Structure formats: C-alpha cells, structure tokens
Amino acid sequence: MTSTSPQAAPWWRQAVVYQVYPRSFADADGDGLGDLRGVTSRVPHLAELGVDAVWLSPFYPSALSDGGYDVDDHRDVDPRLGTLADFDEMTEALHAAGIRVVVDIVPNHTSDRHPWFREALASPRGSAARGRYVFRDGRDGPAGPMSEPPSSWKSLFGGSAWEPVGDGQWYLHAFAKEQPDLEWSDREVREDFLTTLRFWADRGVDGFRVDVAHGLVRDVDSNLHVELPSTHTALFDDGSHPLWDRDDLMEVYREWRQLFDTYDPPRAAVAEASVHPSRRWRYSDPSSLGQAFTFDLFEAGWDAAQLRRGVELGLEQLDVGASCTWTLANHDCVRAASRYGLPPDPELSSHVAAKAWVTRDGAAPVLDRALGLRRARAGLMLELALPGSTYLYQGEELGLHEVADLPAPVLQDPIAFRSEGAEKGRDGCRVPLPWTPDGSSFGFGPDGGRDPHLPQPAWFAGAAVSVQEADPGSTLHLHRAALERRRGLLGPEELAWEEGPDGVLHWSRPAGRGGRWHCVVNVGGADGSGASVPLPAGELVLTSGPLDDAGHLPPSTTAWVVSG
Ligand code: NOJ
C-alpha cells in the first residue's frame, strides 16, 4: 500500500466533496426549481459544514428528461437555473469561502434537443451529422419506418436501447430516448468536449465529475447479433463488453489529462465508472482522470463482512497510487438512512432491495427509521475515517430519509416511465431540501413562491436545517464535528486492520498530529441488536451516538479514538 502525506498531496486526494443537486438545493427566485443563486445564498451553510469542495450535478440547458443529464448545451446555464454571470458569482463566493468547485461533464450522450442531434435528424443516413451519433439501419436493412431495431439491446432505464427516426434508421441510447449516445471516434465530438472542459476550467472550475465515464466508446457493428441481457452488464474484467469500458476509451482521458495538466493547479477529475473493480485503476491512474468512484461500500448492506469487503475493494486504489473514494449516497440511490433501516433481504443486495421497497411506495417491509438513521450516522464516521475522499450528497447532513411515497403523477424520473412499473425511480432522494420548519416550501424557496418541483413531506419540518442548528445532538452537528475533527486528524493515506470481535470493524491509521487514529464501527446484528464493545485506550475524539453506561460502544455506532 502506498502512502502520500496530506501536505504534499493535491487537494482532492483526501477531500470532502458535497454534491449539490441544483434543482433541489435552494430556490432563490421562487419558481419551484432550485437555482445557482440559491447555491450562492447557502454558501454559509456549506462553509460551516466544512466541506472542501462542491460538486454540482448538471445545471446546463435541458428539458430535464433525465434531471439535467440530458444536456442541450454544455457551455451554458439553464435559464431557469440562472445565467453564466450567476455561475461566476457562485464560484467566486464558494472560492472566497475556501470551497472548490467541481462540475458534472456528460460526454456519453447529449439531449435530443442539442443542435447536433437536430441536425442529425434533418440529415440523411451516412451524413457527417448522423456520424456524431450512433445511427444504424434497422435489422432488415433500410426497410422503412416499421423495421426492427438493429439489435435486442436494452436501455439502462428500460425498453429498447434503439429509437427509430422514421426513415429506417435507429439511434442508440443507453439511457432515455432523449439522450442519444455520441460517437467518440468522431474527431469533432472529441474537440468539442475539449472546448467544453477549457470553457469551465477557464472560468475557475477546479475539477470535473465525468458522467458514465466507462461509456463513450463502443464496438457496435461486430456485436449487433450479441444478446446482451441489459446494457448494464458492465462488470467484465477483460474489456470485451461491446458497450462499456473499452480499451480505446483510455486515449480520450489521456487527452483530457494533458489538457487538465496545462492548468495550475492541474484540474481534478473523478470518473463515474461502473466497471469491474480490477479495472478501476485505468480511470483513476494519474495519466487518466486521477480518481474514480467506488460503489462497493455503498452497495454493501449494513453487515460487517459486506462493509469490510467494500472497504477492501475501495482500498485497492491505493495499490495503484490513486486515492480512494467513498460514498454512501448520491442522487441515483435510495437514501442511506432508509436503506439501512430496512430488514435485509437475502435474495437482493441492500441497494436493489431498497429500490424495490420504494417501488412499493415504501410499504412492507417496514422501515425502522431510528435504526436507519443511527446506522447512517455511524456510516458517515466510517467513511470519513478511511484514507481518500468522501463524497456526501445534499441532505445527508440532515439525516434525511427517502421520500418513498411520492405519488405516480408527480414522478419525473425516466426510469419510472421506461421500466413499466418495475422500478419507481430516483425522485425520492431528489426532493427539495428543508431549510426551515415552516414556510410554503420549508425555506427551499421564498415563502409564497411556487410549489417545489417535487412535493415535500410534512416530516421534513422536523429535519430542517434551522431545527437541527438548535439541537446539539442533531445529525447536522455530527457532520460539522466529524468534518472538523477529521481535518485535524488527517495523515498519510494508509490503514491497518486491528483485531476486533465479530460484527465489529476496527482499523487505525497514522494521525497527522501524531499517534494513531482508530476507527471502531460496532456494526451489530441485522436487527440492530448486539453487545456493546470496549474502545481502545486513548483520547475519545467523537462518537456517532451515545456510549453505554459502562463507556462501551453500542451496536450501530462508530467511535474515533486517538492512541498515543
Ligand atoms: C449517471 C447519473 O448519475 C445519472 O443520474 C444519469 O441518469 C445517468 N448517468 C445518465 O446520464
């Protein structure tokens, strides 16, 4: 395992990055959609939380067919979310507070309203305009509008991955039909994205989160006959999947890295790449993007063996000199406080079981809200104690649960429509944040403004930022304390496992201020039961919940201790 001292390392190697989902964070103009001036108005919240960077999900012009991941123009701001001047003002305010800015880049596809796609539709087969996307004739050749799709491939969001355009041709879309896939062997496509990266880097953006980083490059023609159960089968360990994680993709990121390194400091990048763990290094290598998300910890249930496996897989990044990344939540998954409060389903991973629970409108199995929150708090301290960067998702600092009972008519996620009821989708973690216990949108927008774009449940009142401000035991205060103490403890990126009883994870690492920083997670039993455990000798720095009367660590609780 390699180890880099935090002083010598680039900022992002051990950063805490807070994901803002702009439509749902704060609504300054009262139109019901969050906006960039809303983010600016909440910089004090982010500064007090103590995060190192903010990652903004897309805020570009978009029909919002996939929450903004259907981009009309990569170099502008959606007028409903603001202007480029608002973006600059937000960046300045964040920088002034010592917070770096990471933006989302969506290179796998554009929206179907992008000028390139409009031009492709208006152009004949074989034209340069169609060559920027993946157009193919239907299975029976150019037989006209009724032909069969070129292959049986399925979209990740359900339904066919091909959409007909009425002249015998079809275009590929791994996601919604409003997200046509780009053709990355086209030099103009490559050049245009380099221009986009420069555009934002020149505006002072510090880093990029690369959406579907394992997509982009495909071998379509020699594989049209291949049956793929779904385009999601990305976890091949040999690069042989026709659609994902192809070797030629690495050239794209080498070119991006060269561009990033022309800046001082070099721009950071993190890949969202759902690839086999043994191939993550290709994205996180310093000659490539530099960092890659790992989702193993996030996919683990609240179970000691699964969590340990998730940590071990994440730590493999250190072996290749990359920094590790940790996350328990983002805008694509059921919130951790709810995931961890559901009884385990032996048939399904906790992640998939939670999606099924949402689809049943949060009906059986019954959620244990308190247990889920206790574990989410313990999970926070678990991830923050690991070497590497932690990515937090807005609302985690409030311990928010999933809004699992959104009624069908308000749903926006294309997954809900395309899966024909098999999945309900991701809207339940995207409900606008509560800032105050009252007001027409719990302070998300000005009182009396338009209704938030997704309805907020009544229980948001008790979770609001101002309510938690006033409660020293709140999850908000735990986040602030954990981030602040972590900053004082950070040391080299290494970790040693310590002996512990069954159901307990215990590791230590050198603390930057001297001594060793121990993290003890008493995972406990599946139903939250279990014995309390004694803590290692040393200074007790923080716990995610109260110790028992004997000073021992109860189940579903994490402690940090510094030993001499
Ligand atoms: C991953 C993003 O996180 C998700 O929200 C989006 O739907 C897909 N990529 C497609 O862009």
**pLDDT higher than threshold 60 for residue 3:** no
| Ligand 1 atom at minimal distance to the Cα of residue 174 | 10
Report the range of poorest mean pLDDT among 197-201, 266-270, 310-314, 319-323.
Answer: 319-323
Q: Is there a single domain that holds both residue 158 and residue 249?
A: no
For 481-497, give the DSSP string.
Answer: HHHHHHHHH--SS--EE
Residue span of the structural domain in which 86 resides: 11-108+187-374+388-478
Q: Does residue 32 fall inside a structural domain?
A: yes
Reading the block at residue 450, the tokens are 């338009």
pLDDT for the residue 229: 67
If you take atom 6 of ligand 1, which residue's CA is the nearest one?
Answer: 69
Q: What is the pLDDT of residues 87-141, one digit of tens each?
A: 999 999 999 999 999 999 999 999 999 999 999 999 999 999 999 999 999 988 7
CATH number of the CATH domain containing 307: 3.20.20.80
Q: How many helices (H) and strands (E) does the chain have?
A: 17, 16
d(CA 326, CA 481): 19
| Å from CA of 69 to ligand 1 middle | 6
Q: Does residue 516 fall inside a structural domain?
A: yes
Report the range of poorest mean pLDDT among 66-75, 151-160, 322-331, 373-382.
Answer: 151-160
| Å from CA of 211 to ligand 1 middle | 6
Q: Is there a single domain that holds both residue 551 and residue 407?
A: no
**pLDDT higher than threshold 50 for residue 541:** yes
d(CA 405, CA 514): 49
Q: Is the CB of 69 under 6 A from ligand 1?
A: yes
pLDDT for the residue 8: 75
Do the beta carbons of residue 178 and residue 110 sit within 8 Å?
A: no
Q: Is the CB of 175 under 6 A from ligand 1?
A: yes
Q: How much is the average pLDDT of 188-206?
A: 98
d(CA 398, CA 443): 14
Q: Does residue 458 fall inside a structural domain?
A: yes
Among residues 102, 91, 106, 59, the alpha carbon closest in space to that of 78 is found at: 59
Do the beta carbons of residue 487 and residue 17 sit within 8 Å?
A: no
pLDDT for the residue 2: 46
Among residues 35, 51, 10, the alpha carbon closest in space to that of 393 is found at: 51
| Ligand 1 atom at minimal distance to the Cα of residue 106 | 11
Q: Which residues contact 219 (CB under 8 A, 6 or more apart)?
A: 242, 246
| Ligand 1 atom at minimal distance to the Cα of residue 108 | 11
For residue 434, CA distances in Å to 142, 377, 444 come to: 53, 19, 6
Residue 160 is classified by DSSP as: B
Q: Does residue 34 fall inside a structural domain?
A: yes
Give the end of a domain, one of 429, 448, 478: 478
Q: Is there a single domain that holds both residue 204 and residue 295?
A: yes
Q: Is the CB of 66 under 6 A from ligand 1?
A: yes
d(CA 559, CA 29): 42
Q: Which residues contact 12 (CB under 8 A, 6 or more apart)?
A: 53, 100, 207, 268, 270, 290, 291, 323, 389
Length of the chain: 564
pLDDT for the residue 418: 87
d(CA 418, CA 421): 8
Do the beta carbons of residue 56 and residue 430 sit within 8 Å?
A: no
Q: How much is the average pLDDT of 381-410?
A: 97
Q: Does residue 224 fall inside a structural domain?
A: yes
Q: Is there a single domain that holds both residue 290 and residue 393?
A: yes
Q: Is there a single domain that holds both residue 351 and residue 230?
A: yes
Q: Does residue 507 fall inside a structural domain?
A: yes
Q: How much is the average pLDDT of 501-525?
A: 97
pLDDT for the residue 450: 97
Q: Is there a single domain that holds both residue 553 and residue 468?
A: no
Q: Is there a single domain that holds both residue 504 and residue 557?
A: yes
Mutate which of 72, 155, 175, 391 for ligand 1? The one with the most ligand atoms within 8 Å of its CB, which is: 175
Q: Is there a single domain that holds both residue 210 and residue 102?
A: yes
pLDDT for the residue 233: 55
Q: What is the pLDDT of residues 317-330, one digit of tens each?
A: 999 899 999 999 99
pLDDT for the residue 248: 94
CATH number of the CATH domain containing 120: 3.90.400.10
Residue 521 is classified by DSSP as: E
- Strand locations in 296-443, DSSP E? 325-327, 389-393
| Å from CA of 212 to ligand 1 middle | 7
Q: Is there a single domain that holds both residue 93 and residue 165?
A: no
Q: Does residue 490 fall inside a structural domain?
A: no
Phi, psi values for residue 290, rounded to 5°? 105, -25
Q: Is there a single domain that holds both residue 417 and residue 545?
A: no
pLDDT for the residue 228: 83
pLDDT for the residue 1: 44
Among residues 500, 432, 495, the alpha carbon closest in space to that of 465 is found at: 432
- Strand locations in 37-121, DSSP E? 53-56, 100-105
Domain count, the chain: 3
| Å from CA of 246 to ligand 1 middle | 19
Where b means 16+ CB within 10 Å and e means fewer, 392-404 reads bbbbbbbbbbbbb
If you take atom 11 of ligand 1, which residue's CA is the nearest one?
Answer: 69
pLDDT for the residue 488: 97
Helix or strand run (H / E) with residue 518: strand 516-522
pLDDT band at 232 (very low <50, low <70, confident <90, very high): low
Sheet holding 268-271, edge to edge: 290-292, 268-271, 207-210, 100-105, 53-56, 16-20, 389-393, 325-327
Cis check: omega of the bond before 265, within 30 degrees of 0: yes
pLDDT band at 27 (very low <50, low <70, confident <90, very high): very high
Q: Is the CB of 332 under 6 A from ligand 1?
A: yes
Mutate which of 56, 69, 181 for ligand 1? The one with the most ligand atoms within 8 Å of its CB, which is: 69
Give the end of a domain, one of 424, 445, 478: 478
Q: Is the CB of 232 under 6 A from ligand 1?
A: no
Q: Is the CB of 106 under 6 A from ligand 1?
A: yes
**pLDDT higher than threshold 50 for residue 279:** yes
Token pair 């917070």 in the structure block, residue: 99
pLDDT for the residue 227: 87
Do the beta carbons of residue 355 and residue 345 sit within 8 Å?
A: no
CATH number of the CATH domain containing 529: 2.60.40
Q: Is there a single domain that holds both residue 322 and residue 199?
A: yes
If you take atom 2 of ligand 1, which residue's CA is the nearest one?
Answer: 211
| Ligand 1 atom at minimal distance to the Cα of residue 272 | 1
pLDDT band at 4 (very low <50, low <70, confident <90, very high): low
Mutate which of 21, 179, 212 for ligand 1? The one with the most ligand atoms within 8 Å of its CB, which is: 212
Q: Please provide the average confidence, as pLDDT, over all residues in the chain.
A: 95
Reading the block at residue 111, the tokens are 């929206």
pLDDT for the residue 145: 62
Reading the block at residue 25, the tokens are 């964070």
The number of CA neighbours under 13 Å toward the Cβ of 458 is 0
Q: What is the pLDDT of residues 328-367, one digit of tens each?
A: 999 999 999 999 999 999 888 888 999 999 999 999 899 9
**pLDDT higher than threshold 90 for residue 239:** no
Q: Is there a single domain that holds both residue 155 and residue 29?
A: no
Q: Which residues contact 404 (CB under 8 A, 6 or more apart)?
A: 334, 338, 357, 358, 361, 362, 367, 428
Q: Does residue 165 fall inside a structural domain?
A: yes
